[in-house]
Amino acid sequence: MRPLPLAHAARSLAAVGLVELALAARGRSVLDDLGEVVIDHSPLPLVELGVQLMGTTDKPLLRLQSLAALVASGTVLGARAAPGHGRVSRRTTTLGVAGVAALAAARVVLARQQPQVRAELARPSAAVSDGADAWDASPMVTPVEDFYVTDVTMRAPVVDAAAWRLEVEAADGARAVVDADRLAGLDLQERQALLACVHNRPGWDRLGQQSWTGLPLPDLLAALGLPVPDAEDESLDLVMEGADGLVMTLPWPEVVVRRSWLVTGMGGRPLTASHGHPARVLTAGLPGQYGGPKWVTALRLRPAGSVTASWVARGWPRGPVVVPLMARIDSLGTVGMPPRLPLRAVRVGSRDGVSGVAWAPAHGGVAGVDLRVDDGPWVAAELAGDLGPDSWRRWRAPLDLPPGTHELAVRCRAGDGTVQAGTGRPPYPSGADGFHRVQVKVARA
């Protein structure tokens, strides 16, 4: 009797399961390893495409794809070994490929539809002027558990704070090695700031705002008794190493101008493992991949250009690239986050308010936010309090729309006079730009 491909598939699945189980005890995973091999050996444009399609759930999907690929190859191999393999192997290969494609497609569709459902179900609220709802609907800080996570490795390192050391090396070779206790004893401050990924796109939430505990890097050097370079000293790069092997570099003047700091806490608590426990660097004006190494183990001042950053080796500009200024719509009335890629318009009341956040950390902070309805003029929105250039700023505006479908667009104006251009450029190579647009539909009264 000819074995069914299903039997091969089941056997392959069981085999992968057993291997995963055996490896799990040692904290390893064949699915993760395979995912990493895929990322490391894919050309940059393909990786970029994957990141855009999958948003922040790229890791679970990569695991699923690894699993599907393993099971598919096991099935094909099994069928080949069996008699009368020709037809079966062709069919199973097709099935395997179709399966992987279906998984990817399902994920993309789900990503588009989930927020849509939320927006459709929520009831339109009172107008902005009726209460504080509009401000509340755009939270000032991103809850730690909702804060985006981006790692270059499939499995984030778990650093033992007791064994962890940070090596700080000055330009003259002088060194200081500090542990978590010594760091905690320094003069740490608490400040709010945003952190953004270079892959953030208009309307996306691959950035967040939180209160952080830490101190500016020049102050860290001084506190450790190390010489602090001149703020304009372009002959030096700061080389930052993470426990996962990631290396980032910044010209020293950037460290000073962009206010990079070492942080140990987030939201009044120690950093979580996924956000870089026990310490990371944070630079609001620079995307995470340029100015925000997590699980930092070494900070070294080296001659400019002498060390190549991991991202530069993978094809990103030496930069550093700055966080593009942008405004985002977070709510319509009290209706939550509009869909990332709307398939249909969000229903709103004719007098609903609209609110959101805007940021311009590399351009002197937010000076204004403008809202545009359809082809109308840009109209200034009302701004909430200003926490400084490193924080995002909330905005809100009333709506008074006739029945029908309309498009809302928002743009950010920065403190240094830059106005968001809305070019529609993609994240690679210097960060995305584009107006966040939302289709709204006002029912006939």
Ligand X SMILES: Nc1nc2c(c(=O)[nH]1)N[C@H]1C(S)=C(S)[C@@H](COP(=O)(O)O)O[C@H]1N2
Task: List the x/- string, 115-154, binding to Mo ion by CB under 5 A.
Answer: -----------------------------------x----
Nearest to ligand X of 273, 383 (CB atom) = 273
The helix/strand/coil state of 227 is coil
Contact 231, 224 (CB under 8 A): no
Question: Binding to Mo ion by residue 200, rule CB under 5 A?
Answer: no
Neighbours of 169 (CB within 10 A): 19
Residues numbered 278 to 317 that lie near ligand X (CB under 6 A) are 288-289, 292-295
Min separation Cβ 234 and ligand X, Å: 24
Min separation Cβ 373 and ligand X, Å: 33
Question: Binding to ligand X by residue 277, rule CB under 6 A?
Answer: no
Min separation Cβ 201 and Mo ion, Å: 12
How many CA atoms are closer than 13 Å to the CA of 305, on its beta-carbon side? 2
Nearest to Mo ion of 150, 213 (CB atom) = 150
- The binder of Mo ion chosen from 66, 200, 249, 289 (CB under 5 A): 289
DSSP string, 29-76: -HHHHHHHHHHHHS-HHHHHHHHHHHTT-HHHHHHHHHHHHHHHHHHH
Residues numbered 33 to 92 that lie near Mo ion (CB under 5 A) are none
Residues linked to residue 393 through DSSP beta bridges, in sequence order: 358
Residues numbered 150 to 169 that lie near Mo ion (CB under 5 A) are 150
Residues numbered 194 to 253 that lie near ligand X (CB under 6 A) are 195, 197, 242, 244, 246
Question: Binding to ligand X by residue 149, rule CB under 6 A?
Answer: yes
Closest by CA to 437, choosing from 412, 413, 416, 409, is 409
Neighbours of 245 (CB within 10 A): 11
Neighbours of 445 (CB within 10 A): 6
Query: Two tokens at 241?
Result: 């190493």
Query: Two tokens at 177?
Result: 């090695």
Min separation Cβ 149 and Mo ion, Å: 10
Residue span binding Mo ion (CB under 5 A) among the ranges 190-198, 226-234, 265-273, 360-368: 190-198
Report the distance separating Cα 322 and Cα 250, nearest Å.
Answer: 12
Give residues in contact with Mo ion (CB under 5 A): 150, 197, 288-289
**Which parts of this chain interact with ligand X (CB under 6 A)?**
147-152, 195, 197, 242, 244, 246, 275-276, 288-289, 292-295
